[in-house]
Amino acid sequence: MPPSFSVDLPAGRVPRFPDRCIVCREPGPGSVFEVGTHTLSIASAFFIHGWGAKHVGASIPACVRCARELRRSRRVCTAVLCILAIAAVAPVFYVMVEMGLHGPQYKLLAMGASVVLLAPWIVWELFHPPVFDLTATSSTTTYELRDREDALAFAELNGVKLDGDRGATSLREAGVGRPR
């Protein structure tokens, strides 16, 4: 499984990124790619956003060409997820109508079908991590970078002390070790 390197910052801290494209590493890319997520909650475990979840975003430096490609990939991912969701819910709806099921039974069936259909997607994502990803809780935002050098530069720029704080722990756990 390819590694990805996590750097934790306190929630609400505006992150600073190295001034180079996150994909092709061209210096001074002059544009950004917007990434956003919602804080984790029980509702988000079931892909339901908005119930007590807060939006967390970051502007990642990316050159125009790479930012365009990242946006295109994101649109493809969203489309695939929508198709999988429809593919999961449509037969459940059909079964529900045929069997006269309703209420909680429908929700359980829909959730079960979604998990089964999304499993291959989740496995694929594990083996093909994005160049950059975000995970947020109410107290911490975790920045996940695929490139070790970027993770170290990012941690350094954001004043993460690599000995003793949460950023250090994440970096060590991810196999980066001590900073240069």
Residue ranges that bind Zn ion, judged by CB under 5 A: 21, 23-24, 26, 63, 66
CB of 24 or CB of 80, closer to Zn ion: 24
Q: Is 169 helix (H, G, I), strand (E, B) or coil?
A: helix
Closest approach, Cβ 26 to Zn ion, in A, equals 5
Q: In whole angstroms, how close is the CB of 24 to Zn ion at the nearest point? A: 3
Smallest gap from Cβ 25 to Zn ion, in A, equals 7
Pull the structure tokens for residue 169.
Answer: 């722990």
Of 66, 39, 52, 46, which Cα lies nearest the Cα of 132? 66
Nearer to Zn ion (CB atom), residue 92 or residue 151? 151
Q: Which is nearer to Zn ion, 63 or 152 (CB)?
A: 63
Pick 33 or 143: Cβ nearer Zn ion? 33
Q: Which CA distances in Å does 142 have to 17, 32, 87, 91?
A: 14, 19, 32, 37
CB of 70 to Zn ion, least distance (A): 9
Cα–chain-centroid distance for residue 102?
A: 33
Q: Which amino acid is at 57?
A: G
Q: Are residues 84 and 117 in contact, defined by beta-carbon separation less than 8 angstroms?
A: yes
- The smaller minimum CB distance to Zn ion, of residues 13 and 68, is found at 68
Contact 160, 168 (CB under 8 A): yes
Kindly state the smallest distance separating residue 6's Cβ from Zn ion, in Å.
Answer: 23
For residues 21 and 66, the answer to whether their CB atoms sit within 8 Å is yes
CA distance 63 to 86: 34
